[in-house]
């Protein structure tokens, strides 16, 4: 199965997204930035969870859930030419009902892509 996006792996890409737009939701924080022309193709997404989320088991569970939410929601609402970073929240990302987590991402993307 091929993913509808490529995964961010360079620290510099995460830092550029951190300086761009961000939108909080109950289950996660979403950072987004429009890339410069010719920088990369398609949608790119990164996932991160700090130690505040919990031990390694809790962080990995939260990241797995964020990856699945991104796989389901980004093809319909993500825009090509954008980088997204999904950040897990302590006590929320791992325990929130999955449909609510999907709605959180939909809401955040709607806010991020709304005209200012």
| pLDDT band, residue 115 (cuts 50/70/90) | confident
- The sign one gets for the Cα dihedral 95, 96, 99, 104 is negative
Q: What is the pLDDT of residues 23-77, one digit of tens each?
A: 998 999 999 999 888 888 889 999 999 999 999 999 999 999 999 999 999 999 9
What class is the 6-113 domain? alpha beta
Determine the pLDDT at residue 4: 75
**Which pLDDT score is estimated for 11?**
93
């Amino acid at each position: 199965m091929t993913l509808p996006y490529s995964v961010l792996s360079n620290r510099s890409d995460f830092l550029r997204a951190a300086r761009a737009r961000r939108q909080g939701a109950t289950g996660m924080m979403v950072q987004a930035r429009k890339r410069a022309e010719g920088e990369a193709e398609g949608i790119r997404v990164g996932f991160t969870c700090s130690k505040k989320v919990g031990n390694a088991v809790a962080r990995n569970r939260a990241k797995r859930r964020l990856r699945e939410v991104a796989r389901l929601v980004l093809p319909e609402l993500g825009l090509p030419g954008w980088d997204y970073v999904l950040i897990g929240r302590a006590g929320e990302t791992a325990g929130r009902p999955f449909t609510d987590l999907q709605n959180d991402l939909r809401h955040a993307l709607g806010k991020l892509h709304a005209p200012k």
